Amino acid sequence: MAAVPLDPAPHTPTTAPSVTSRALLTVTGVDRPGVTARLFAALAEVGGDLVPVEVVDVEQVVVHGQLVLGVVVGTRPAEGSRPGEEARFLAALGRLAAEVGRASGVQVQVESVCDAGRDAAPAGRSHHVIVLGRPVPPEAVAGAAAAIAGIGGNIDAIRRLSDYPVTSFELTVSGAEATGLRSALASVAATTGADIAVEQVGLTRRSKRLIVLDVDSTLVRGEVIDELAARAGRAAEVARITAAAMNGELDFAESLRARVAALAGLPVEVLDEVREHLVLTPGARTLIRTLKRLGFRCGIVSGGFTQITDPLAEQLGLDFAAANTLEVADGRLTGGLVGEIVDRAGKAHALVRFAEQHGIPLEQTVAVGDGANDLDMLGLAGLGIAFNAKPYVREQAHTALNQPYLDAVLQVLGFTREEVLDAVPTSSSR
C-alpha cells in the first residue's frame, strides 16, 4: 500500500474572476417598514445570464423620517460571457430600481461605479470629530468640513449624537493625522463658537472605564475657597491668588498655603454652610448616573478640602475622592493643612492610584478639569477634557468643552442622547 503523505500539497483553487462591474443604488424617500427588505429581495432575483449579484457596501440613515440608503453591488462575469455584460447588468438594475420604486413609493437611482482606486484609502488613522453647540451654527460644520479637506482628510460618515442639552454631530474622518486635525479644527472652533473634539476611532474609545472630575468650577460652580474667604473678609485677596494659580502663574502648593492661611480663625461650622450652598454644574448628576450605570468607576480629585469633598462624594455615590484637609483646633480653622498636599502632581498621582485600585489601565481613564493644576492629570488620562477652562489649559488638553453642561462629556465619549435616556430615568434631575 502506498504511504499517504503527512503533508499533502494543498489544493490550489481556481482563481475566481474579479468583480468587474459595480453599481451604486441610491434609495431616497419617506422611510417605512420593508423598503430595505424589498430592495435586497429584488437584488437576489437579478439573474439571467449574470452570476449572482454581490453586496459590496451598504450605508443607511434616516433623517427626520426621510430615508437615504446607498448600496454598492457588483457582479463577476460568467465564463464565456458576451460583450456588453456591464450594460446588461446596469439595465437589469434599472428595471429593478423602477419596480422597487413603484412598490415602495421611494426613488431608486442607479449609476455605474468605476473600479479604479476603489480599494484605495487615504493615509492616516481614522478619527471621530465631534461638533457641539447650543445651537450648532452652519458655519461650524462648513468650517470643519473645509478644514478636514484642507489637510487631506475625508468625511466618511456623519451622525447626530444629541439634540439636548446641546446639539452634537459626530463626523468619522479618514486620511488625517491627529495633531494636524486638532490644529486645523481649533481655529474653526474659535471663530464659530462651537466646541470641536477629536478622538481616534477604535475600541479604546468605548473601553473607557474610569473618570475623575475636578471639583471647583468643574463638578460644582465657583471656587469653595473663595466662598470661605468671603466669610473671613479676605475675598479679594484670595480671589487674586486663586486666579493666578489657575492660570499657571503661581505654584499651586505655595498659593494654596497662602490662601488657607487667610482662613485662620473661621469657625468650623462655616464649612457646613458652604457645603450646603454648593451648586452642581448642570448635567453633573446625569453624567455620573449614566457612567455608573454603564459600569464606570467615578471619582473626584480636588485641590480643595476633604471637609467639603468627602460628603459630596457620598451624596453622589462616587467610588473615590482625594483632596486636602484643613487643620482644625478648638472648633476653628488654624490656617494650616494636615497631611500631604493634593496639588498638580498630587492629582495625577491620585488618578494613577484609583486606576490601579480598580485594575483599570490609564488608557481607559478620563479626566475632566479646568485649571493649570489639572494639567498633569489631564495629560496622563487616556482622555483629558478641559471643561470651561482657561486658555492655557485648553491648549494642552486632549480636547476642550466650553458648553455649560457637564453631561456634554458623554457626547465626546460617543454616547448618543438615546443611550443616555436609556441609562438614566427621564424623571431624574440633571
Sign of CA dihedral 333, 335, 338, 344: positive
Catalytic residue positions, numbered = 214, 216
CB 24 within 8 A of CB 108: no
CB 317 within 8 A of CB 288: yes
Among 267, 274, 389, smallest CA distance to 333 is for 267
CB 61 within 8 A of CB 70: no
Rounded to whole angstroms, the Cα distance separating 261 from 279 reads 25
Rounded to whole angstroms, the Cα distance separating 390 from 370 reads 7
Sequential DSSP letters for 225-279: HHHHHHHTT-HHHHHHHHHHHHTTSS-HHHHHHHHHHTTTT-BTHHHHHHHHT--
Helices 235-246, 252-261: crossing angle, 10 deg rounding: 170
Question: What letter represents residue 58's amino acid?
Answer: V
Instruction: Say how far residue 406 (Cα) sits from the centre of its chain.
Output: 13
Among 308, 307, 290, 309, smallest CA distance to 299 is for 309
Element (DSSP H or E) covering residue 304: strand 297-305
Pairing of strands 195-200, 127-133: antiparallel
Whole-structure pTM value: 0.79
CB 213 within 8 A of CB 219: yes
Rounded to whole angstroms, the Cα distance separating 400 from 385 reads 5
Q: Is the peptide bond preceding residue 165 cis, with omega within 30 degrees of 0? A: yes
The pLDDT profile of the chain, 430 residues, written as one tens digit per residue, is 444 344 444 444 444 445 467 899 999 999 999 999 999 988 888 755 556 678 888 988 888 889 999 999 988 765 555 566 778 888 889 999 999 999 999 999 999 887 544 444 445 679 999 999 999 999 999 999 999 999 999 999 999 999 999 999 999 999 999 889 999 999 999 999 999 999 888 777 778 999 999 999 999 999 999 999 999 999 999 988 878 876 778 888 889 999 999 999 999 999 999 999 999 999 999 999 999 999 999 999 999 999 999 999 999 999 999 999 999 999 999 999 999 999 999 999 999 999 999 999 999 999 999 998 999 999 999 999 999 998 889 889 999 999 999 999 999 999 999 888 887 665 455 5
Contacts of 1 (CB under 8 A, 6+ apart): none
Q: Which domains does the chain have, with CATH numbers?
A: 21-76+84-112 (3.30.70.260), 127-201 (3.30.70.260), 210-423 (3.40.50.1000)
C-alpha cell at 324: 486636602
Give the count of alpha carbons within 13 A of 269, CB side only: 0
Rounded to whole angstroms, the Cα distance separating 161 from 416 reads 4
